[in-house]
Structure 1
Amino acid sequence: MSYRSSVGIVDYGMGNLYSVAKAIEHLGGKAVISAKPNELAACDRLIFPGVGAFGDCMAALEERELDEFLRIAAQNRPFLGICLGMQALMESSVEHGEHTGLGILPGQVLPFPEEALQTPQGQPLKVPHMGWNQLHQLVPHPLFAGVPQDAHFYFVHSFYVEPAHPDLLAAFADYGFPFCAAIAADNLFALQCHPEKSGTAGLRLLGNFLEWSGECGSGCEIG
């Protein structure tokens, strides 16, 4: 492990900042929670966590002048997006109206389709999708090293990412239908679930992130 690797945790007023930081410190990394681009830029790698509404997230990023910083940082160091931090990487969202995202990756954020939200037995599924679900890995990514196939991760979300390029898809989960649960491109990786709340499997993935050089070996290029 890269002992005391500095991990910038993007603080834009929303997100599970301290639970992510606690997990990073537990794994031997140095967590730096900050809303200042210059402090985040000094870190070896970045985590962009998030909870809440897409539009509020983008407004908060722009207010703190973090939007352009993230567009650049997502291309030059190991970068991990979590939950809303994954969704904001996309071009747009229709959550509570139409909103423009960071546009780092091609795709959009959509609501769960009502007609698909039922179990194989025909029972209705609730939104938000909340609780433990299996993560089905599609690529041999370095962040999946030692993470069992179909391991359970913790999810809580009402919208999902639909990437425009199929090679971005790194893992999927099922909730009435298969949806994108992880994306990968070059030095960027993002998850719809919360690894910091996902027990042993989540800690293993975050530990892999601390060691990751940023080389992907699969997926498509950013931009």
Structure 2
Amino acid sequence: MKIAVVDYGMGNLRSVTKALEHVAGDAAEIILTADPAVVAAADKVVFPGQGAMPDCMRELEARGLKQAVLDAAKTKPFLGICVGAQLLFEFSEEGDTPGLGVFKGKVIRFPADKMHDEHGQKLKVPHMGWNEMFILKDHPLWAGIPDGERFYFVHSYHFVPADDIAVIESAYPYRFAAAVARANIFAIQCHPEKSHNAGLKLLENFVHWNGCF
């Protein structure tokens, strides 16, 4: 089995690739690639992302990978990570950027008027650090990960799905969708590759996932 990690120059690519290699063992070959043909030939696809969404979208198109990602999201077990997850939506407030439109909904910045804790203390944006994840719906990629487990986040924007596709929520300070899923696609806002044992478990589950939900 071959798992392609899409390289469009805008992701935590080495960490994602190394984490997948660690959990896959002999079960899969992990291929970091900028070649659309390799993405098309892979059995599964991981779509990471890091940085500003306008830059990510521009690089994806410039490198000829946009259609390969769209095709993979239609047919293969597909994992979007951080900005790679945000790119799957229709639109982002970050630079007024059109997304890929795989999911209905938008990506918004944490609103300044809501960024305070229960004691009235101002919360920083970006949201950075470890935060709890709350299960809304059971999913094969979350098997073996308890409710309330902590994952690592670095983001100023989060997605707001228009459909009922949220499977995991987090809170900063209000609840927001931290992971969404539909059919063969799972997309997560945080960084599983930086989230120690829980993140490795999610990636291991992806390696063995048949794409059904």
What band does the TM-score fall into relative to the shorter chain? over 0.9
- How many pairs align? 210
Residue equivalent to 1:190 = 187
SS of residue matched to 2:74 = coil
Instruction: Name the SS of the counterpart of 2:122 in structure 1.
Output: coil
In the TM superposition, residue 210 of structure 1 has moved relative to its aligned partner by 0.4
Is contact 1:7–1:43 with CA below 8 Å preserved after alignment? Answer: yes
> What is the aligned counterpart of 2:108 among 81, 88, 110?
110
What is the TM-score with the length of structure 1 in the denominator? 0.92
One-letter identity of the residue aligned with 2:124: K
SS in 1 for 2:201: helix
Indicate conservation of the 8 Å contact 2:39/2:68, yes or no: no
Q: Secondary structure at the match of 1:150?
A: coil
Q: Which moved more, 1:22-31 or 1:204-213?
A: 22-31
- Structure 2: state its 5+ residue gaps: none
Q: Which runs of 5+ in 1 are unaligned?
A: 217-223
Residue aligned with 1:153, SS: strand
RMSD of the alignment, in Å?
0.8
Native 8 Å contact 2:166 2:179 kept in 1 = yes
Tell me the alpha carbon deviations over residues 53-74 of structure 1, each in whole angstroms, 9 at most, x when there is no partner. Answer: 1111111011111111111110
**Equivalent residue number for residue 30 of structure 1:** 29
Q: CA deviation at 1:43?
A: 1.4
Per-residue deviation at 1:125?
Answer: 0.4
After superposition, give the CA deviation of every residue in 1:155-200 in whole Å (9 maximum; x if it has no partner).
Answer: 00000100011x2111110001111100000000000000010011
CA distance, structure 1, for counterparts of residue 130 and residue 167 of structure 2: 19
* Cα shift readout 1:189-223 (whole Å, capped 9, x = no counterpart): 0000000100111011100000100001xxxxxxx
Q: Deviations over 1:99-135 (max 9, x none)?
A: 1101111010100011111111111100000000001
**SS of match in other structure, 1:184:** strand
Q: Secondary structure in 2 aligned to 1:147?
A: coil
> TM-score, with normalisation over the residues of structure 2?
0.97
Letter in 2 for 1:22: K
* Identity %, equivalent residues: 50
